[in-house]
Amino acid sequence: MYSHKFFIERDFGVFTSGFMMACLWIPARRGRWQALVGTLCLFYLSSVAGQARYSVPEEQAEGSFVGNIARDLGLDVTRLISGKARIITKGSRQYVDLNRDKGSLVIKERIDREELCGKTTPCSFSFELILENPIQIYRVTVEVIDINDNSPLFPKGEIHLNIVESAASGSRFSLESADDPDVGNNDIQKYMLKPSDNFKLEVQIQPDGENVIEMVLKTPLDREKEETHNLVLVASDGGEPHRSGTVRIHITVLDANDNAPVCSQPVYKAEVKENSPTGTVVTSVSAIDADKGVNGDVSYSIANVAREVKNIFEVNVNTGELKVAGNLDFEKSKTFQLNVKASDHGGYSDTCKIIIQIIDENDNIPTIQLMSFSNSISEDSPPGTTIAVMNVDDEDSDGNGVVKCSINSDIPFKMESSLTGYYTIVTEDYLDRESIPEYNITITVSDQGSPPLTSSKNINIKVSDVNDSPPRFDQSEYSKNIPENNSPGFSVFTLSASDSDWGQNARVSYFLEEKKINGAAVTSLVSVNSENGVIHAVRSFDYEQIKWFEFNVTARDAGSPPLSSVATVKILIQDQNDNPPQVLYPVQTGGSLVAEMVPRSADVGYLVTKVVAVDVDSGQNAWLSYKLQKATDRALFEVGLQNGEIRTIRQVTDKDAVKQRLSVIVEDNGQPSRSATVIVNVVVADSFPEVLSEFTDFTQDKEYNDNLTFYLVLALAVVSFLFITCLVVIISVKIYRWRHSRIMCHANLPVIPYYPPRYSDTLGTGTLQHVYNYEVCRTTDSRKSDCKFGGAGSQNVLIMDPSSTGTMQRIQSEKSILDEPDSPLEVSLL
């Protein structure tokens, strides 16, 4: 009966107190019904890995069931599928395949036990079952059960023997045994010799299991009666069905040869190194035959050995030297036993045994086989994460087969050994893709032979990115100057943030943080391009309205979760010379003429007045300079370059004209510079009557301007009825004022300037140096008037309306001037 067995072992670090065994008998059929009994034994031992053992008959058809590995290992079928379970074999052939969906092992390729193991018993092969996530390794051993599929076979189809007729009863004649590749009960069990009238058959089983077949002479031969004998030697095995092999023996009876060769020693021992070249002498066998002549010549031959052995060794027929004829491989066979037969020409022979010990050589390079390997690992993997599992093997023995496995030391990985011959590569520290994006690992395996043999294998591990690095700006704060009056959409500058991550994790976008600046959203002032970080001005900036502002820009990557960093941007508005100077004093009015009065007794350096101007720009754009552009008499007045003070540069004389017209230009220091012009009327006189008598030209100029305005209004009135109506109202008012003025004086008086108290100029020169106040009295139809000069403390301003002809009245408004120092007081002559 064929035995079908399989065992499961597990080990979890400590032995459990008991085990469970279950036996399962499985019927099978091959040719005809045979009872195949399988025994399943489950042992619960503790180990990280497990072992399973099955037994199957050889020559099973492809797809034949071997065993339910999922059930036997206590695994669920879904675990086999999710763990990508697969079979790893050491050799190039895979006899068993895994059906993940059913969790069973099936025959993948026909198994020939004799091809796989020869005479070795038991015959088995092993493989590993690998599962991932987490990695689990199970060693599975399949024992191949022999079936009787080979018949005994003799080396030759016929054997020719020459036996001298004088051979005594009991003489022995060696015969070559048959060979049956099967083992156990299927191997050769008995020999039979037919017919058995003169000979009988004796079979001796040697300690190594080899059969020595000898044919023993029962009755003497008589050549004269029978010169030849034909026998049949039958070898039968014990399998079912029985198989047998035959060889024909042809015996020729010779004349007497009464001495048989005798070997020098029954057993020879020799050693030879594996991989010895063909022709290497192993040992020499010698035998002595006491006969003389031809009957004393001894020849040597190898007898009763398998065909494979005959291909490895050969013996010299004449000298008995045993030489290497084939390839010696210690890993395939460590010892050989040969039978060398010494024969003479008379048919006598003797057999001696040669035991050959093969000496191992370090001729096998250690091999590395990756069982599981992941070429990518996340940079946030914790230490101890497995990236590769490998099997290391050296077919040599003893020290030649002891291997040492290592990896290069300049990487954050280490080698660990789990099972015998199995190594795992695990992370030793945390990884940082930004520092090192990939690793080249060199696995080196060396044995302890002399000289040692080494092999290596390179694997590449790529570190996959994790979003662990936020974008980084070159600096935390940026400051940029931008000129005012820029065009909307003006590119201010570009922010740049770098992210040391990779891919999506390194794609940076830019955003403005919400903020109010002077009550307006920051997005109404600037915008940022989310892709390239370019900051644009949304509108035109005015330095006089806003001089600087700050906002924050966030750089955010596209990782999950996203990381970000913030930079502060300060925009400084640069002033441009876009505002001309503005003259605050003297005030230029459209309805009145303002004049400054200089007494004829004024000395050199007499302060006539001061031109006060401001520029809303800043810096050098607001630095003002004053120049005298035009003057009635340039030799009489000068203007202070920095303070705008108009002073006399010589003594005033009687020859100087009463009316002086000065044109002062005020320029700033910008590039290009801007300017404003102011007309200053100066009266050189000691009294108001002199002023009134000399100011007719001023009135004519004013009347000319009024007439020009009148004509312009009339021209516009043709176009628009509205302007005509306005013109009628203006004319009516004019007529009313004219009629009212007929009662008043007809004289023309100039406007005497008034300096506002505590008025400060832009250059910080303080208030004007002094103020003159006047009292003017006139009678009707009088060309003469008395003028009274008041003290400096009086606050009086006289303004002359050129169209007035009535009597001038004096108005004092000291209280209102004190209350409103920045507002000039006008006294009109009605």
CATH assignment of 472-574, among 1.20.1050.10, 2.60.40.1180, 3.30.1490.100, 2.60.40.60: 2.60.40.60
Mean pLDDT of 310-318: 89
3-state SS class at 77? helix
Mean pLDDT of 780-797: 36
- Give dist(CA 403, CA 410) in Å, integer: 22
- Residues in the chain, how many? 830
pTM of the model: 0.49
pLDDT at 412: 92
Confidence of residue 281 (pLDDT cuts 50, 70, 90): very high
pLDDT at 697 over 80: no
pLDDT at 182 over 90: no
Top CATH class of 262-359 equals mainly beta
pLDDT at 331 over 60: yes
Confidence of residue 812 (pLDDT cuts 50, 70, 90): very low
DSSP at 523: G
290-299, 684-693, 816-825 — most confident range = 290-299
E runs forming strands in 588-623: 595-598, 607-610, 612-614
pLDDT at 766: 35
pLDDT at 263 over 80: yes
pLDDT at 549: 92
Condensed to tens digits (0 to 9), the pLDDT of residues 614-667 reads 988 888 888 899 998 888 888 888 998 988 899 999 888 888 888 888 899 999
Q: Do domains 262-359 and 472-574 have the same CATH topology?
A: yes
Question: Residues 585, 532: contact at Cβ < 8 Å?
Answer: no
Q: What is the CATH number of domain 52-145?
A: 2.60.40.60
Condensed to tens digits (0 to 9), the pLDDT of residues 1-19 reads 343 444 444 332 222 222 2
246-255, 358-367, 735-744, 815-824, range with the lowest pLDDT: 815-824
pLDDT at 16: 27
Q: Closest Cα to residue 265, out of 281, 282, 283, 287?
A: 287
Condensed to tens digits (0 to 9), the pLDDT of residues 382-426 reads 999 999 998 898 888 887 888 889 899 889 999 888 778 889 999
Percent of all residues in the chain with a pLDDT value above 90, rounded to a whole number: 23
- Give dist(CA 463, CA 117) in Å, integer: 46
Q: Closest Cα to residue 374, out of 461, 275, 473?
A: 461
Condensed to tens digits (0 to 9), the pLDDT of residues 511-566 reads 999 988 888 899 999 999 999 999 999 999 988 888 899 999 999 999 889 999 99
For strand 477-483 and strand 564-574, is the pairing parallel, antiparallel, or unpaired? parallel
pLDDT at 757 over 60: no
Confidence of residue 827 (pLDDT cuts 50, 70, 90): very low
Condensed to tens digits (0 to 9), the pLDDT of residues 99-127 reads 988 999 999 999 998 888 888 888 998 88
Query: What topology is assigned to 158-254 in CATH?
Result: Immunoglobulin-like (2.60.40)
pLDDT at 719: 74
Terminal CA-CA length for the chain: 152
176-190, 668-682, 783-797, range with the lowest pLDDT: 783-797
Q: Closest Cα to residue 525, out of 550, 555, 544, 496?
A: 550
Condensed to tens digits (0 to 9), the pLDDT of residues 568-623 reads 999 999 888 888 998 988 887 655 556 788 888 888 889 989 999 998 888 888 88
**Mean pLDDT score of the chain, rounded to an integer?**
78
- Give dist(CA 515, CA 536) in Å, integer: 17
Burial class (CB in 10 A: 0-12, 13-18, 19+), 544: middle
28-32, 309-313, 826-830 — most confident range = 309-313
Architecture of domain 582-692: Sandwich (2.60)
φ, ψ (nearest 5 deg) of residue 403: -115, 155
pLDDT at 825 over 60: no
pLDDT at 165: 79
Mean pLDDT of 706-734: 76
pLDDT at 756 over 60: no
pLDDT at 44 over 50: no
Confidence of residue 772 (pLDDT cuts 50, 70, 90): very low
Question: Residues 681, 594: contact at Cβ < 8 Å?
Answer: yes
Q: Across-strand partners of 367? A: 393
Architecture of domain 367-464: Sandwich (2.60)
Domain ranges of the chain: 52-145, 158-254, 262-359, 367-464, 472-574, 582-692
